[in-house]
A and B are shown apart, each in its own frame.
Chain A
Amino acid sequence: MQCSDSIPSAQTGVGSHRERSGEPVRTVVSNLPFEDLKKREQPNRRYEGNAIRTNKYRLWSFIPMNLFEQFHRMANIYFVGLAILNFVPVVNAFQPEVALIPICIILALTAVKDGWEDFRRYQTDQQLNNTPCFIFSRKQMCFVERRWKDVRVGDFVRVLSNEIIPADILLLHTSDPNGVCHMETANLDGETSLKQRKVVPGFSSLVRVLPITKYLERPDKRRTGFGIDSLLLRGCMVRNTDDAAGIVVYAGHETKSMLNNSGPRYKRSKIERKMNTDVLFCVVLLFFMCLIGALGHAIWLETFSSMPSYIVPDSNGNYTPSVLAGFYMFFTMIILLQVMIPVSLYVSIELVKMGQIFFITQDVELYDEELDRRVQCRALNITEDLGQIQYVFSDKTGTLTENKMVFRRCSVMGTEYCHEENAARLAVISGANEEEEVTIYQQTKLPPLFPLEELQDVHTGDKNHANTQVTAASRRRSKVAAEAQSDMAFSSPLETVVVPDRKLILEVDRQMASIQTGPYLDFFLALAICNTVLVSSVTAQRQRVRVNVADLAGAERVGDVLRALTHIFCAANLSNESDGFHSSDVSDAAGQKVISSERKVKSGLSGSEEVCYEAHSPDEAALIHAAKAYGFTMMERTPHYVTVKLPDEALLKFEVLDILTFDSTRRRMSIIVRHPHTKEIIMYTKGADSAIMERLGNVFSGDKIKCVEQWCGWKAVCFSLKVISEQEFRAWSAVRQEALSAIEEKEERLMETANFIESSFTLLGATGIEDRLQESVPETIQALRRAGMQVWVLTGDKPETAINIAYSCKLLEHEDLVFTFSTSRKVLQCQLTNASVPEQTFTGPLMEPSIGLVIDGPTLSMAMSDELVELFVELCKHCRAVLCCRVTPLQKSAVVKLIRQKLRVMTLAVGDGANDVNMIQAADVGIGVSGQEGMQAVMASDFAITRFKHLQRLLLVHGHWCYSRLANMVIYFFYKNVAYVNLLFWYQFFCGFSATAMIDYWLMIFFNLFFTSAPPIMFGIMEKEVSDSTLLSLPELYKRGQHSEGYRRSTFWIAILDAFYQSLVCFFIPYWTYNGSDIGIFAFGTPMNTVSLFTIILHLAIEIKSWTAVHWVIMIGSVLVYFIVTLAYSAICISCNPPSDPYWIMHKQMADPMFYLVCILTTVVALLPR
């Protein structure tokens, strides 16, 4: 076999050597000749196998490893340290074993949680590792079925249609005669569009068994070059291709999908950081209290001339010197007062956050019926940060806007066609949609009636192509689903159906009829051809439905995809309500529905032939449908041919000579075809207006430019044509081939060739595509503004478009003073100084002019250079709105980081596309909009929403709630523990600072663990000081969280002081009552314990602003549990807890009227200040 890239085996060693030293070269040798060798002698032995292991622990190492990890938390070390301290004999702990219980419970709970998660990972891994696949075996000379884990680098693997690719495979063969293979990367990046992979040049027939050596780059994240065009990635699914085969180059953990798999993110919220410092304060406080105890004890001992009988000597009969006794006492005190930093605090906070997340995800207002998706909380521990956002950075496309392109108008040969009918239709659609919602809204208020349901069935039935099995069950179908259905039925044609402009269609018809050629026809041909849209017929779709989605890598993502699939299916396919369906059927139908309802827009609504387009971007879809509306339907696309049906039903089959794909630097794409009739070589180019205009051959089209400029609200796409002579093409083609096969600097060379041929076009026309604003975007932005948030828009679009959108979404007002910065460096500096200096004079007393700042990418990078950055930040502080245009993803994240660091504010970034990932990760809170552009943003985000408008509710309502709940709960926790611990502390003054507790040790532990833990947790989850409607109507309330007013140092100290006061009351009223009487230690402690329970619970009761049934149950339940447990405990425990058997004390106390009188008085006095 002749392979252009096969290398003599002598170089293999060199290659491997180089790889080890870090050079991006990978040598792969086929395993086949070495099949019989032992494992140690395999040439590819140093590469990893395909078995993966994502679980952290092994069975034997689970406990040590998990403990090791848990001890990375400072708190755990502290608690374990205390527990160990209990065992030191000199501190005289009552029962050292008891002290171990809480920390053990905490550690065990965490370990069980970790272990369970890890076990789930292990199961998924096993499932993946045991998935069958086909590996070529030389002995049997055919592909034999093996498991994924058996795949090794160098194996030849065959993948059938709709199977998942087991490893990163270099494609060497496909069943497709053109050597193409399609794969769906939904599991990798969430994009449901198909990607084309080509067989490595030179391997068009099935590979024979020969040692082949290849160079490939290392699997780092920018794996480009040789592999990318013919690399099938692990986890992806082969589509539209019967089978494909290739050699494994990366296996197991080295595959791209595994490298991309990063674990869940751990962020620390602002409150948590603050809380940690307060925990330190508590430690200091504890330290001082212990110091007082130690000194007190030493001094107290000094007062005795001879030892009294109640001071117990050690076992030898000697008395410890008072200084040493004081020193020991310090540690005993730590043990006594350790409750100050509660073990339960961290656990409670985690529980509370889980509860908060539960309620956020359960919010029906944040549920998107169209996508059947709830809000997703991916970061588990920053819910309260949502309530403290000060800066919002938003992407434009897909976040503020729908990213559903609507064909609005076009201009051909200088004439503008406004498509007013189309515009009118769009207006009608949105109107009708609202109306529909209103009627359904009214209907649901009625009791369910059969006629109505049937009406609904019929109404949706004719829209739903999959609706073949309307059963009786479907009558009970939800009306919400019907609503969703109608939504989808309308939103799809928004993009697909274009009502042709009458004038234009006349023009087209005239040219069609007369000369069969002309600029109008070329224009629409360009629309139809010049794209990368794939056509898939309905039958083709049916083939590829055997989706075994559950086996895919990355269980989480798969789960999402699967849920999305079944969901769309559920919303659409009304008949499948019976539970007896199997999952394969479900995913089958779901798969279809995804394809036909999402942006791969179905064309056959009216026509008989079912043609589905699978477009990479929504504007391509919009354009191809526009062409179709005028009768130019693309029927088929293969790598070598494109077939277009003309309005007169004739088919034109263009031979595709080359495709220069779209990239962001050129910002255009071209297709070079040979016209079937004229045999001319024609290049159609499509691109952004600027990208085309600068390369026009003749300059006669000045008026066109003008009209394109006028459409600045819409995305303008220009089409142009160039006829290339045969010789010219051949010459260029040779250069192109050379560039294609180049190994070094391939990208650059390809770019050069593309730029070379893409010049001196003839402009055909331009189209205007509108990206509609999402619903309620202006309202949301206004609400966020009123809530004191600064809203910035960072977009890659050109300034004109961005400004337009900014006006339409009320980011900028017409009376605003707008600075536009897009100038050179020196001028910028002047501008910055000028702009900020008058600003400062303005801001004072009179009026604050609202300033909008528009800045473009290059200028931004200048503004962010070292010497200007201070000025820039200063200026930004005064701007009402900032709009950054033409910024790269990296710049987006740089801006976010800059603001976050310089201004020390809480930032939130929201975006939907891969280009927002950096920004989302840089911000304190990253929000992904799961929309049109795949799932990368969602994967990187902390929270995923479906519509921009949800941000309003998420921040203003849930953010506020979560923040105030958590802040109050943390404060309360500190208060509670300080109040309780101080009781013990005051007692030290009356027991010679000997660290005696007047409360039974078990009851002390129970007090924190059971009696008083549920109410604050409930408080943290369910408290609602302000209703959601109030929060939404008064966004100003949000400012409380921004300025951290819920949790300030002063609040903390006030709570501590309050705790001191209450503990004084709780201690000294019983003290004076019982002083001098015959009361025993634990009989004395019992009323105190009870009183502090009442005080603590009632304190919370005063804090709680809204009482639901749950509150009542938990509050009263806590008190009841206290009495029941205490009574039971003191009835049973005769000698089970040696030094402090509380036998019958509680009963005795409860029979004494004084007990109640003390309790009532103390509670009232303790709470009177409140």
Chain B
Amino acid sequence: MAVCIAVIAKENYPLYIRSVPTQNELKFHYTVHTSLDVVEEKISAAGKAMADQRELYLGLLYPTEDYKVYGYVTNSKVKFVIVVDSSNTSLRDNEIRSMFRKLHNSFTDVMCNPFYNPGDPVQSKVFEGMVSGMMVQVS
């Protein structure tokens, strides 16, 4: 399960960041922010290849000693980033994919809310609940 989940706007500012409370929140902010380098690079590389049939899931962005960072980009260039603990080896690529899909669906619901102004921070409780379900449960 994830230790940090982030939604990043098209212009690369955070719409939503949530991390496990036990660890330094700022560190995750930095991790997510630096991972955008790789996301940008992957988007521009994929953009050259084929613009429309792009795979949304970007895979493992980069491994650090402690965490693995995965990325996902929607067609409107909103980015999702999931950070998992490196020690968590049980997590398969497929599970990460399905986490991103769930995240994407839930974010789509947020966007469908007529009272949500695209570009504002996400404050939806439903979204929050869904993210909590995907986070590492801290006892």
Mutual binders A and B: no
Q: Which residues of B contact A (CB under 8 A)?
A: none
